[in-house]
Amino acid sequence: MIKTLQAILKQDKEKFAIPRGVQDIIPIKAIYSDGIFMVGRNKFCKSFRFEDINYAVASKEDKEGMFLEYSELLNSLDSGATTKITINNRRLNKRDFEDKILIEEKEDHLNGYRTEYNAMLLEKATSANAIVQDKYLTISISKKNVEEARTYFSRVGADLISHFNHLGSRCSEMELDERLRIIHDFFRTGEEISFRFDIKDFMKKGHHFKDYIAPDTFENEKDHFRIGNRFGRVLFLRDYAAYIKDSMVAELMDLNRNMMLSLDVIPVPTDEAVREVENRLLGVETNITNWQRKQNQNNNFSAVIPYDMEQQRKESKEFLDDLTTRDQRMMFAVITLVHTADTKEELDNDTETLLTTARKHLCQFATLKYQQLDGLNTALPFGVRKIDAFRTLTTESLAVLIPFRVQEITDEGGIYYGQNVISKNMIIADRRRLLNGNSFILGVSGSGKSFAGKNEITNLALSSDADIIIIDPEREYSPLVKAMGGEVVTISATSNNHINAMDMNKEYGDGANPIILKSQFLLSLCEHVIGGKNLGPKQKSIIDRCTESVYRHYQQGNYQGTPPTLQDFREELLKQDEAEAKALALDLELFTRGSLNTFAKQTNVNTDNRLTCYDILDLGEQLMPIGMLVVLDSILNRITANRSIGKQTFIFIDEIYLLFMHEYSANFLFKLWKRVRKYGAFCTGITQNVDDLLHSHTARTMLANSEFIVMLNQASTDRTELAKLLNISDLQLSYITNVDAGHGLIKVGSALVPFSNKFPKNTKLYQLMTTKPGEGAS
């Protein structure tokens, strides 16, 4: 026997003790506050949690890359330790869900909408899958004491985290209460909310930690076990096929039940493995030589070597070649699977389903007989292995049992965006955590863009105190805004609503003199007014001088009182001696004293409402560019004011391509897009004209730098451009090709996940959010 395996079997050898109580079925001898368990004579283990990655929807090239990176991870495992990779299917904890996701009621008129939204969230959480999949990696090692083990785990943990980072997954050490909770939730299904663990408090009271995680009763039968009123069974992989598809583990764990699959791995040092395989090959060659000699003695000189002997020789040579030239390692693996059910009949049916799934991949799972407790302790992430059904595998053949499937997005405190099409789990994302929280919602007309934007606005309005500002060029948001208690500001040349283009607060300058930033805004405005021509040095100097002069009194009053208007600015221009100033004043006359003077009067609408919608449908061709500039400047005013009081601001711009049609509003928006994060603000652009958007260098840069993108059904030209820009595989593109409204891809940081968002139609919220003819609120 190989020395490494011999040494580990010796370390694992323990005297058999008959369990006298349910606490005795748990093989943990001692626990430590940093999450280390002592599970045997000088044997310690520590667990790490790792996240899933988008393996199932990746392109063929990306899959190969992930497979090779995972193989590298397996190769890096220490041959002196046992590594257990565990996939845990657990039911959604309803109390945790309610605490983290549901919207709390407040003392306002919106609680009816909150009740509707919470009912929708609960229905989504429980109707489809209600199974959450966690993944752990547990390392067990024999050391003289816990201090040595701690040092070892610290070193190995850093390597593991690095390898998982290369895979695109995040790996983190598990705390003591997290590890104990896994065991508690498995043994006490339905009592998840009662878990409480404070090691200092228990030590003070003299309580044993096993009392809080052990089941009430445990019965060990021939081929199953009972925990309280529930039934369970442990299976193990008996026969391993010559060829296995990488989807086998994902298909096994697709069953909608509480279950755990564990893969115990013992790597063998390459020198030992080579010696072992060389000895095996030598044995095969000896057998072949003896057989040939025997045939020769019988005068049978043309005998062909039997197929089984030839096959043994071929496989041994391939194995040796793998170890010496293809960067493979020999590994011993044990695969166990435990599943539970409410009744014995249900358990038997689930077992048959699992066995059938394995047979489909030419593998043979079998039920452990009279070893159910040992199998249970092997399958759970205790860090022990009581079953010795070893299979000898290479790194490559072990990596086929890849634990990755699809990335889940479940940010605590996030917003619901839909359901993962593959896993059916909810997508809860918080773009405030991203490096760049700006967002785009893209899709053809009728794909559900506005609905997706309104869904986010509704969630923010009901669950947070953040300010929400909407630029609405199609008059689609008014019913929702009014229902949520917001202000709709209709802007046009004939409207009685006015926004003063010269409004400014003391925070406007981002710590510098606000006049400097306002002067740049007025330069852009004047450039447009004179027909889009570049201003000369004299004109720029005059505008800068007049800006400072017209704000002097307002600035001296600490930005209190009435701010100046564009009419005041024009009057100041007329006071200047230069002919250029008189010319600028004449150019500004239409927008100050003429028919398009809507932005040259004092603001007479409530722009301080936490939910404000700027309705710009009636802005004419002449007023649109200057109107866009003024609205964006007004938004910048609001953002800077909110920053000073620590309040977040969300800006939603529908049909954002309209802003890129005008150079000045496009440049202003580009600067805003880059700067808003430091103001605690987050922009969202919504558009169907993706191709037009991508032709603008400014828009293309903004899109490439946005970490959060919702892609709904796309036109063929748009799909091609998006695939190049965001590196989307052909398989992922199928999720935005000819799909129903509300279906598509969502990009959150590096994660790209297919989603669907079906909102219940028999709700008031749906009628406020839909834009389909005949369905909306009147």
Query: Does pLDDT of 126 surpass 90?
Result: no
The pLDDT value recorded for residue 778 is 46
**pLDDT value, residue 552:** 87
CA distance 107 to 118: 17
- C-alpha span between 671 and 683 (Å, rounded): 12
pLDDT on residue 708: 92
Is pLDDT of 153 > 70?
yes
Q: Which of 2-6, 216-220, 434-438 has the lowest mean pLDDT?
A: 2-6
DSSP string, 217-267: -EEE-SS-EEETTEEEEEEEEEE--SS--TTHHHHHTTSSS-EEEEEEEEE
Tens of pLDDT, residues 334-349 = 999 999 999 999 999 9
Mean pLDDT of 649-674: 82
Tens of pLDDT, residues 291-304: 999 988 888 888 88
When mean pLDDT is compared across 134-138, 333-337, 553-557, 645-649, the lowest value belongs to 553-557
Contact between 331 and 398 under an 8 Å Cβ cutoff? The reply is yes
Asked whether the predicted pLDDT for residue 504 surpasses 90, the reply is no
Query: What whole-number distance in Å separates Cα of residue 678 and Cα of residue 235?
Result: 54
Give the DSSP letter of residue 410: B
Encode pLDDT of 7-28 as tens digits. Answer: 777 777 777 777 888 888 999 9
Task: Give the pLDDT confidence score for residue 774 in this predicted structure.
Answer: 61
Q: What is the 3-state secondary structure (H, E, C) of 367-408?
A: ECCCCHHHHHHHHCCCCCCCCCCCEEEEHHHHHCCCCCCCCC
pLDDT tens figures, 159-194: 999 999 999 898 999 999 999 999 999 998 878 777
**Helices 579-592, 537-556: crossing angle, 10 deg rounding:** 60
Q: Please, which pLDDT band fits residue 129 given cuts at 50, 70 and 90? A: low
- The kind and range of the H/E element at 331 are strand 330-341
Q: Name all contacts of 767-770 with Cβ < 8 Å and 24+ positions apart.
A: 768/454, 768/458, 768/479, 768/480, 768/483, 769/450, 769/451, 769/454, 769/455, 769/458, 769/480, 770/451
Q: Which residues of 238-265 are buried (b: 16+ CB within 10 A; e: fewer)?
A: eebeeebebebbbebbbeebbbbbbbbb
Residues 390-415 have a mean pLDDT of: 88
pLDDT band at 333 (very low <50, low <70, confident <90, very high): very high
3-state SS track over 684-749? EEEECCHHHHHHCHHHHHHHHCCCEEEECCCCHHHHHHHHHHHCCCHHHHHHHCCCCCCEEEEEEC
Beta bridge partner(s), residue 89: 133, 259
Q: Across-strand partners of 341?
A: 231
Residue 93 pLDDT > 80, yes or no? no
Written as six digits, the tokens of 505 are 């607060």
pLDDT digits (tens, 9 = 90+) for 49-77: 999 998 888 888 888 999 999 999 999 99
Q: Quote the CA–CA distance of 581 and 585 in Å, as a whole number.
A: 6
- Nearest of 664, 652, 656, 590 to residue 626 by alpha carbon: 664
Region 243-271: mean pLDDT is 90
Residue 529: both structure tokens together = 């007014």
Mean pLDDT of the chain: 87
pLDDT reported for residue 468: 94
- 498 CA to centre of own chain: 42
Residues 6+ apart with CB under 8 A from 534: 527
CB atoms under 10 Å from CB of 155, counted, come to 10
- The reported pLDDT for the residue numbered 497 is 82
Question: What phi, psi does 263 have (nearest 5°)?
Answer: -125, 105
Q: Assign 3-state DSSP to the chain and report helix, strand, coil percentages, each to 5.
A: 45, 20, 35
Q: Is the pLDDT score of 571 beyond 70?
A: yes
Label the pairing between strands 225-227 and 751-756: unpaired
Asked whether residue 769 carries a pLDDT value surpassing 50, the answer given is: yes
How far apart, in whole angstroms, are the C-alpha atoms of residue 395 and residue 400?
9
Q: Is 773 helix (H, G, I), strand (E, B) or coil?
A: coil
% of the chain with per-residue pLDDT over 70: 97
Instruction: Count other Cβ atoms within 10 Å, centred on residue 164.
Output: 21
What pLDDT, on the 0 to 100 scale, is given for residue 399?
92
Q: What is the mean pLDDT of residues 622-637?
A: 83
Predicted pLDDT at 561: 81
pLDDT given for residue 439 in this prediction: 92
46, 175 in Cβ contact below 8 A?
Answer: no
Report pLDDT for 381.
Answer: 94
Per-residue pLDDT band for 2 (boundaries 50, 70, 90) equals confident
The strand pair at 415-420 and 171-173 is best described as: unpaired
Angle, vertex CA 185, rays to CA 45 and CA 103, nearest 5: 120
Residue ranges of the domains in the chain? 3-12+22-100+113-268+329-399, 276-313, 512-598
Which 3 state secondary structure label does DSSP give 48? strand
